[in-house]
A and B are shown apart, each in its own frame.
Chain A
Amino acid sequence: MIEVLIVFIKIVCALAWFLLLTLYLTWLERKESAVIQDRIGANRASIFGIRIIGLFQPFADAIKMIFKEDFVPAFSRKFLHTIAPFISFFFVAITISAIPFGDSIRIGERTISLQILDFNVGLLFILAMLSLGIYGIILSGWSSNNRYTLVGGLRGAAQLISYEVALGFSLIGLIMVYPSLKLSSLVQYQGELIFGFLPKWGIFLQPLGFIVFLFAALAETKRAPFDLPEAESEIIGFFTEYGGLKWGLFMMTDFMEIIIISTLLTTLFFGGWQVPWMAADGFHWPWGEKSSSSAGFRF
């Protein structure tokens, strides 16, 4: 019983954390583009007159989206049209389960690993779920019964499938170096050192794989340079016929995918939760001098 409760708490915490990051990624994007374009960006949303550079904006957006009319066009396939955003969101949200957030912690007798499910095939699981997310796009494009959404959906499918290949192949070298697909042990391998000073990160072992993975992952997120399925300037995209919270789910999926891809990138190429030269007993400088973590950094 207590195990179930622990897993449940882990799921809720991870999902809440990821949704919060997703919300604030929208805020960050708005602010960042505003700074690039000499603007200020969203800064009006306030609670009791307090507006901390628009930090409440994501919540205002969320409330607005929730209370908008749930519109289903008359010419659409109702069931698929309704279920498509949920499919899209589900397959991204479920990938959180395989991401290692940290090493295991001990509370009393119990050892709790900061990972919801430690698969033996964690990496394959994440890649598979990210590919299954295409179904949401295709279904939404097709079930909307609109030519533009269909074109958007097909473009999305074509793009995601083609970049999926590059994404998979870029990891093969890495998998050969670290003989495991288990993400937690993948991270543990990266805690070691090469030549005695360089952390055994994926980016140092497979720099080319990192570059390929980075670009394929950018394409996977369907964001700006690779936004073929959305393509605001040509076709309006696969979610043309959506509004309100369903559209919001697609948007959330997009941003959540960015975060998932970033966590995956960190896990695979930047040592995951490992801090370089930091062991359980303190901080070790690569030249052998030992300093305790509590005494601060000595130079």
Chain B
Amino acid sequence: MDSIGHGEKSLLLLLASDFDTLDIPKIPLRPADGFWLEIADSVKPGEHCRNRHSDEYSRMIKALGYFIEIIRGILITSRHFFVNMFFHILKVVGIKTKRKGAVTIQYPEQKKEIASRHRSLHRLVPNQDGKPRCVACMLCATVCPSECIYIEAAEDPKLEMQKYPSKFIIDIGRCCFCGFCVEACPEDAIRMDTGNIELAGYTRDDLIYDLDKLLK
């Protein structure tokens, strides 16, 4: 990179070989242009500052470093392969080991335990008489960011309730499981602790959960 200037000079001299060297004006040089005399100039296009002032040896050491890292990477890969293969073979042979060849949990047969605070499918907490504890205050429907809760309130003859939800629909297809409805509920009537996380359905209607489904 620092030899570009010198290359130009020799090329120009070659072109002007039929002249006497004294005839042509000297190629204007920057002051102090020479080996290791130049002070730091601006970065040329296509040049990265980390590549400057590097000599052969430092470049060689760098390349060696890359090479070592490649080999280390291959060693890590092959270590994983051989260690895992060893435990797989032990399993095939029938020797029980604490460690396994793979960290895979084979889902439908094996299930991981759900954490106690995991937000799963909603449920409505029932009263002693089996009715939902909900008083249709609409706080959950208001706070819901994906607007997936639809409540229709009806009048309750009981004095401490006064309102009850005649319709309580959660569209699970829209729900983002943020849990705001649970936090907003003043009556602790809605919870997300069923532990049911397998909510797939064949139609969109399968994903609309009404009062009966939610009270279960």
Contact = CB atoms under 8 A, between A and B. Distances in A.
Interface stretch (B99-107, B118-126, B132-140, B156-164): B99-107
Interface residues of B, number: 11
Interface stretch (A35-43, A81-89, A250-258): A35-43
Interface of B: 77, 80-81, 84-85, 88, 101-104, 106
Nearest to B103: A38
A41 to B, nearest CB: 8
Nearest to A37: B80
B112 to A, nearest CB: 16
Contacts of A39: 102-104
A34 B81 contact: no
Interface in A27-66: 32, 34-40
B85 A35 contact: yes
Contacts of A37: 80
Nearest to A35: B84
6 contacts: A34-B102, A36-B81, A38-B104, A39-B102, A40-B101, A40-B106
B213 to A, nearest CB: 31
B80 A40 contact: no
Interface residues of A, number: 8
A38 B77 contact: no
A35 B82 CA distance: 9
B77 A35 contact: no
Contacts of A38: 80, 84, 101-104
A18 to B, nearest CB: 27
B87 to A, nearest CB: 10
A38 B85 CA distance: 10
A39 B77 CA distance: 13
Contacts of B104: 38-40
Contacts of B103: 38-39
B102 A36 contact: no
A40 B102 contact: yes
Nearest to A32: B81
Contacts of A36: 77, 80-81, 84
Contacts of A34: 102
Nearest to B81: A36
Give 7 closest A-B pairs by Cβ, nearest first: A40-B104, A40-B102, A36-B81, A35-B84, A38-B103, A36-B80, A39-B102
Nearest to A33: B81
B10 to A, nearest CB: 33
A39 B103 CA distance: 6
A38 B102 CA distance: 5
Which among A34, A39, A40 has the greatest number of chain B C-beta atoms within 10 A? Answer: A40
Given A34-B102, A35-B81, A40-B101, 7 more contacts: A35-B85, A35-B88, A35-B101, A36-B80, A36-B81, A39-B103, A40-B106
Contacts of A32: 81
B189 to A, nearest CB: 42
A254 to B, nearest CB: 21
B168 to A, nearest CB: 39
B36 to A, nearest CB: 39
A36 B82 CA distance: 8
Nearest to B108: A44
A267 to B, nearest CB: 28
Which among B85, B104, B106 has the greatest number of chain A C-beta atoms within 10 A? Answer: B104
A115 to B, nearest CB: 36
A35 B87 CA distance: 10
Contacts of B102: 34-35, 38-40
A39 B85 CA distance: 11
A61 to B, nearest CB: 20
A295 B40 CA distance: 80
Interface string A225-256: 00000000000000000000000000000000
A32 B88 CA distance: 12
